[in-house]
Amino acid sequence: MIWNKEAECMSAEEKEDLQLKRLQEVVKRAYENVDYYKKRFDEVKVLPEDIKTLDDIKKLPFTTKTDLRDAYPFGMFAVPSDDIIEVHTTSGTTGKPTVSGYTQKDINIWSEVMARSLTMAGGGKKDLIQNCYGYGLFTGGMGVHYGAQKIGATVIPISAGNTQRQIEIMEDFGSTIITCTPSYALYLAEVLQKQGITSEKINLKAGVFGAEMWTEEMREEIEKRLNLSALNIYGLTEIIGPGVAQECLEKNGLHIFDDHFYPEIVDPKTLKRLPDGEQGELVLTTLTREGMPVIRFRTRDITVLRKGRCDCGRTLVKMDRITGRSDDMLKVRGVIVFPSQIERALLKIEGLDPHYQIIVTRPHQLDELEVQVEASDILFSDEVKHVEEVKNNIEDYIQAEIGLRVNVSLVEPQSLPRSEGKAVRVIDKRKL
């Protein structure tokens, strides 16, 4: 099922015409209504009428998280505050949060893209969507909520946390789709298993997982344990919330709703645009947003864009799953390491639960990387010699993945902290 065939299966020419028209409109709107954009465009001497082709977007300056933060709280709004009907913010874990404001039209757009996402995951009127994303200032809860109602599904607004209740509802109501972070899905699977509830007793067919980075191997693990299709959703509060892109059942990339969000890939160092198929930082421009247009937002997320028709019939441009964030990128002895690489290595090993933590230290001017991994019960009760073997094995796998030798320690099952939101994977103790 495709929610909006006209928008999701457009020809390349039609798409580009629409994108250009919308780009010209949004640039004009931003220039005329947001002081920040007027100032920035004037600095680089670009006027809205200079945008004559889609390629001209490269004349425009980037917007960063810092720019949005500096405009806290409402400095980026392009409409009078009377017209803003809802606000959300980022978590603000690294300073002041950034605020996102929505007009009624923006909420309609958000509902539309989330309706497309949930339909892409196989959702429809008959589905019961257990929405375990947090409701509140975080965009996850409300975004899924709007989309679920738009497609006429039954939304269960349970929000995050309270695992026991999640499981009861899942069993009693027969939820068919679950929305949460992938690490929470794995945690739920673990609790279900502990309580002897097999995947046959639950009715889930799909999971829409996002808000943190995860790997192909983690997908396999979740699918096996919960007996569902585990799909990737992507979004960010600065742009709209969840529903910027969603993976279809083909499971080879996420479709970006590029009639609403215009994507580019740039080299994070030089900021030069890269051609399709090359890896770099994703930059997004909101093409239709009214309350808070955002021009060339640097997401810090590393991915690749791929054009062409998907086997599902959609022509929306696809992006690969996020392989890292330029912020999360760890530099250890000069080598670039993403936590996702460690995860990929760990998931290759039988008998390991993919719960881990990376600890970086610099004891004697040289970086040391320690990876703590939870052993499974079976492994932990095993002979010492075997444990040593497994430890070496893991070190080999990680070395193959990142090119560095690290210290692995196997810790007792259930000993690493569990999270009901984003998992804390890296503890960097270096004073850089």
Per-residue contact flags (x/-) with Zn ion for residues 63 to 102, judged by CB under 5 A = ----------------------------------------
CB of 251 to Zn ion, least distance (A): 9
The answer to whether 156 contacts Zn ion (rule: CB under 5 A) is: no
Minimum distance of Zn ion from residue 239's CB (angstroms): 21
Residue whose CB is less far from Zn ion, 101 or 253: 253
Instruction: Please give the C-alpha separations between residue 228 and each of 31, 177, 203, 206, in angstroms, as whole numbers.
Output: 46, 9, 9, 5
Q: Considering the complex, state which of residue 247 and residue 264 has its C-beta at the smaller distance from Zn ion.
A: 247
Closer by beta carbon to Zn ion, 82 or else 311: 311
Q: Within 96-115, which residues bind Zn ion (CB under 5 A)? A: none
* Residues 374-403, mask of contacts with Zn ion (x by CB under 5 A): ------------------------------
Helix (H, G, I), strand (E, B) or coil at 335: strand
Minimum separation from the CB atom of position 277 to Zn ion (A): 17
55 vs 250 by CB, closer to Zn ion = 250
CB of 216 to Zn ion, least distance (A): 17
Pair of tokens at residue 265: 């890939």
Q: Which residues pair with 261 in a beta bridge?
A: 286
Q: What angle, 0 to 180 degrees and rounded to 10, lies between the N-to-C axes of helices 216-226 and 182-194? A: 30
Site track 294-323 with Zn ion (rule: CB under 5 A), x = hit: ----------------x-x-x---------
| Closest CB 9 distance from Zn ion, rounded Å | 10
Nearer Cβ to Zn ion (248/369): 248
Q: Shortest approach of Zn ion to residue 45 CB, angstroms? A: 41
Neighbours of 383 (CB within 10 A): 8
How many residues can be counted in the chain? 432
| Shortest Å distance, C-beta 107 to Zn ion | 26
The span from the CA of 187 to the CA of 127, in Å, is: 23
Output DSSP code: residue 102: E
- 126-134, 170-178, 246-254, 266-274 -> range binding Zn ion (CB under 5 A): 246-254
- For Zn ion, the closer of residues 225 and 306 by Cβ is 306
Preceding amide of 73 cis, omega within 30: yes
Taking the least distance from each CB to Zn ion, the nearer of 240 and 248 is 248
Starting at the edge strand that comes first in sequence, how are the strands of the sheet with 241-247 ordered? 154-156, 128-131, 177-180, 206-209, 229-236, 241-247, 254-256, 318-319, 305-306
| Per-residue contact flags (x/-) with Zn ion for residues 247 to 266, judged by CB under 5 A | -x-x----------------
How far apart CA 125 and CA 201 sit, in angstroms, is 22
Q: How far is the CB of 317 from Zn ion (least distance, A)?
A: 11
Phi-psi region of 162 (alpha: psi -120 to 50; beta: other; left: phi over 0): left
Closest by Cα among 342, 357, 334, 314 to 402: 342
Query: Running DSSP on this structure, what letter comes out for residue 346?
Result: H
CA nearest 229: which of 196, 259, 199?
199
User: Applying CB under 5 A, what is the total number of residues that bind Zn ion?
Assistant: 5
Q: Is 232 left (phi over 0), alpha (psi -120 to 50) or beta?
A: beta
CB of 314 to Zn ion, least distance (A): 5
Sort 121 into a burial class: Cβ within 10 Å, 0-12 / 13-18 / 19+. Answer: buried
Residue ranges in contact with Zn ion by CB under 5 A: 248, 250, 310, 312, 314
